[in-house]
Every structure is written in structure tokens, then in C-alpha cells.
């Protein structure tokens, strides 16, 4: 027996089938109910040698904001990566991304932006998922990012002089917004984040295409040519905006034959080759690695795979030699 689920691949969600047995296994493991695939072979990164925990951060509206943290054992301080989730929240895939980054020497933190209303991960009703996501407005999300940065500033293991942000799908848009808002970020990597109003995301929020001139650090945008939810035209419009605003350090890579969510290893859209290629591209634009500490013996695949010499990645992310003033 099978059950029909919906996956948000572009503006028209499509049904696909998944066996109850496999569904039960993936749901028990904590993957998003509405997007798991029968062919899923998710990367699972163990936590040996890492510190993993869920913490609560004081948000500006008084809410205790949960956030998943993964970092190497030891005193640090470790460079920081804020991880902005897809619409399914901080489920097993996002937690694993944090552990992959921790394996590479980073302290990664994923705030749960949606749980003020409800955790979307266990839901199969996509209409309800979209309601929950829509309730997380721009100012709330930016306030949560600010709270995350402030909390990290009080942790002795966190190096607040080296801070990046990465995000997937909905979180990819957050990357552009956050780097335009906060000077605390040295770099951003946006995985297929929506860019322009025609992409159909939340109305009324600042669009990345309109924020190009406000970027305070370089952003690498990673997009699929066959993404039905993010047209190539909007990707090209973003490229033009970056050029027009003199943001020569930022870059957009468009992958032929890739659709939406090509990094999401629990979904049918997953493309391991694109993930690895895009992961390497992260390092071409990362200034966070200036004091990168390799954990080569325990590195997990699938986030950003470092170049042979970590020092080689220090010169290209922004093309900058000086750090912007912090706000």
C-alpha cells in the first residue's frame, strides 16, 4: 500500500508515491514528511567527535527560539556558519548539514524560524506548510538572525570574527536578505533561493534582486537551469542587478540539467554530482577559511569540500582584502 505525498517543486506541486514502510523509516529518522522520496539515500553524518545540541535563544519578540548547533569538540574558537532551512524547518537533513559543516571545522547553527506557529517537518499537508512558512515574516526572520548572532557572540567556542551564512530554498532567499541587512557576515552561499517577485514567494518582503546594492559581503548563488520555481529569467535578472550595483565579488552559478533542491539528498530532485560541484564552488568564494582547521580524517561529504590547501580559498570569495565595518 502507498500514500500520496506532495513535494514543492516549483509553482505546481506534484504527487509522488512512497511505500509506508520506507516512509515510516524516514519519518522516524526525522525527515520532512511532505518531501521524502522512495529513492532517498540521505547522507547521514555521525556525531562522534562533535558537540551537538538544541539551544534556546532569546528573540527580540520574547520568544525562546530553538536552534540546532553542531560544532567540533574542543575550545575553538571555530568559524561560524548560520544555516537557514528550507520550508520544512530544522529536520534531519538540515541537522545533518550542520554536522557536515562541523566535521569541516565550523560551528554551525540552524535557527527554527517557523516553530512559533508549528513545526512543519512532520506535516504532509503542503497547504498547511505554506501557511506556517508564510507566517514567518521578513522582520521576524531578520530578528531571529540577529538574535542568533548575538547569542553566538557570547559563546567562547564561537569566532564572531569569521561568520558566514548558507541556506536552501526558502533559506536561500534568507541568505541574500541577511547579507544585505547585517555587516556581521563575511560571506553567504544561497542554494536555489528565490530572487524576484515572479518567483511567487512571500509578497511584501524585500526581494534579493532589489537588495543587490545593499550586500555587505559576497554571496555565491547556486541555481538549477531546470528549476520550475525559479525561472532562468529571474536568475539572469539577479546577475544583471549584481553587475549594475558593482557587486563583482558576488557570483551566481547556473547548473545545466539541475532542478530545484539538487542538494537535498532525501528528495527525488537530489543530484550528487551537482551537490559536490556546487560544494567545491563554496570554497572559491569563502573568506572564512583564512584560519581554517581541517578535520580531514572525519570529513563527511556533501556540504563544502575544501581544496587541497585550505589557504588557497582565502583570496577569492569577495576579492576583498579588508573586512567591512561591523554594524
Asked if residues 7 and 129 have their Cβ atoms less than 8 Å apart, the reply is no
CA 315 to chain centre: 23
**Three cell numbers, residue 9:** 517543486
Element (H, E) at 283: helix 272-284
Dist CA 174 CA 130 (whole Å): 16
**Nearest CA among 161, 149, 8 for reference residue 82:** 149
According to DSSP H, which parts of 120-271 are helical? 126-135, 138-153, 170-181, 208-211, 232-244
Helix (H, G, I), strand (E, B) or coil at 186: coil
How far apart CA 135 and CA 17 sit, in angstroms, is 29
What Rg, from alpha-carbon coordinates, does the chain have? 18
- Map residue 124 onto helix, strand or coil: coil
Distance of CA 98 to the CA centre of its chain: 10
Question: Which residues carry out catalysis?
Answer: 169, 227, 260
Instruction: Work out the burial of residue 96: count CB atoms within 10 Å of its CB; fewer than 13 is exposed, 13-18 middle, 19 or more buried.
Output: buried
The DSSP bridge pattern shows strands 64-72 and 107-111 to be antiparallel
Cell 524576484 sits at which residue?
Answer: 196
Amino acid at each position: 500500500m502507498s500514500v500520496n505525498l506532495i513535494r514543492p517543486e516549483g509553482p505546481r506541486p506534484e504527487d509522488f508515491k512512497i511505500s509506508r514502510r520506507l516512509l515510516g523509516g524516514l519519518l522516524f529518522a526525522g525527515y520532512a514528511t511532505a518531501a521524502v522520496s522512495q529513492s532517498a539515500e540521505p547522507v547521514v553524518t555521525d556525531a562522534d567527535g562533535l558537540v551537538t545540541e538544541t539551544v534556546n535563544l532569546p528573540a527580540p519578540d520574547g520568544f525562546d527560539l530553538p536552534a540546532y548547533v553542531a560544532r567540533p569538540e574542543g575550545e575553538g574558537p571555530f568559524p561560524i556558519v548560520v544555516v537557514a532551512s528550507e520550508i520544512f524547518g530544522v529536520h534531519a537533513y538540515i541537522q545533518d548539514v550542520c554536522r557536515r559543516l562541523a566535521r569541516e571545522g565550523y560551528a554551525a547553527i540552524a535557527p527554527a524560524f517557523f516553530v512559533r506557529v508549528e513545526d512543519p517537518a512532520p506535516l504532509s499537508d503542503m497547504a498547511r506548510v505554506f501557511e506556517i512558512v508564510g507566517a514567518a515574516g521578513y522582520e521576524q526572520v531578520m530578528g531571529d538572525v540577529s538574535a542568533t548572532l548575538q547569542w553566538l557572540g557570547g559563546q567562547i567556542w564561537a569566532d564572531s570574527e569569521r561568520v558566514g551564512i548558507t541556506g536552501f530554498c526558502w533559506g536561500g532567499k534568507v541568505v541574500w536578505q541577511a547579507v544585505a541587512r547585517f555587516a556581521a557576515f563575511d560571506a553567504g552561499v544561497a542554494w536555489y533561493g528565490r530572487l524576484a517577485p515572479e518567483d511567487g514567494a512571500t509578497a511584501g518582503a524585500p526581494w534579493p534582486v532589489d537588495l543587490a546594492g545593499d550586500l555587505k559581503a559576497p554571496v555565491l548563488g547556486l541555481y538549477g537551469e531546470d528549476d520550475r520555481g525559479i525561472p532562468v529569467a529571474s536568475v539572469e535578472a539577479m546577475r544583471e542587478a549584481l553587475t549594475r550595483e558593482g557587486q563583482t565579488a558576488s557570483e551566481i552559478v547556473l547548473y545545466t540539467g539541475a532542478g530545484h533542491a539538487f542538494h537535498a539528498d532525501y528528495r527525488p530532485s537530489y543530484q550528487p554530482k551537482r551537490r559536490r560541484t556546487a560544494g567545491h564552488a563554496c570554497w572559491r568564494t569563502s573568506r572564512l577559511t583564512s584560519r581554517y582547521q581541517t578535520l580531514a580524517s572525519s570529513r563527511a561529504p556533501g556540504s563544502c569540500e575544501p581544496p587541497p590547501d585550505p589557504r588557497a580559498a582565502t583570496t577569492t570569495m569577495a576579492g576583498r582584502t579588508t573586512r567591512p565595518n561591523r554594524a
